[in-house]
Amino acid sequence: MYLPTSADQSALAQLSRAGTLPLASQVAVRVAYFIAVWTSRHRTRRALRHLSVDQLRDIGLDRGTADLEMTKRFWRP
């Protein structure tokens, strides 16, 4: 399974803003962009669950903040 990178997300965002694509293509690009963003959020939040307290501290989070972030749905920023 292919997982989009931040470069892919950036390219999709740029295509979406271009406005030179046919309407159906613009919609498809937007859908692809949101799927890429949502996948990234889901993967990141799932990874937080497996970090130790020391690892969380290294990235500037405490367990409570990480738990709060993990409870968010993938469509929530």
Amino acid residing at 69: E
Structure tokens at 59: 């990235």
* Structure confidence at residue 1 (pLDDT): 38
Does residue 49 fall inside a structural domain? yes
Does residue 1 fall inside a structural domain? no
Does residue 25 fall inside a structural domain? no
* Structure confidence at residue 3 (pLDDT): 53
Does residue 17 fall inside a structural domain? no
Residue range 3-62, pLDDT digits in tens: 566 777 777 777 767 667 788 888 898 899 899 989 999 999 999 999 999 999 999 999
Q: H helices then E strands: how many in the chain?
A: 4, 0
Does residue 67 fall inside a structural domain? yes
Structural domain for 70, as ranges: 31-77
Q: Tell me which DSSP letter residue 64 carries.
A: H
Dihedral angle computed from the Cα positions of residues 47, 3, 22 and 77, in that order, rounded to the nearest 10 degrees: 0
* Domain count across the chain: 1
Does residue 57 fall inside a structural domain? yes
Residue range 2-15, pLDDT digits in tens: 556 677 777 777 77
Does residue 13 fall inside a structural domain? no
Does residue 69 fall inside a structural domain? yes
Task: Say how far apart CA 12 and CA 15 lie, in whole Å.
Answer: 5
* Structure confidence at residue 4 (pLDDT): 61
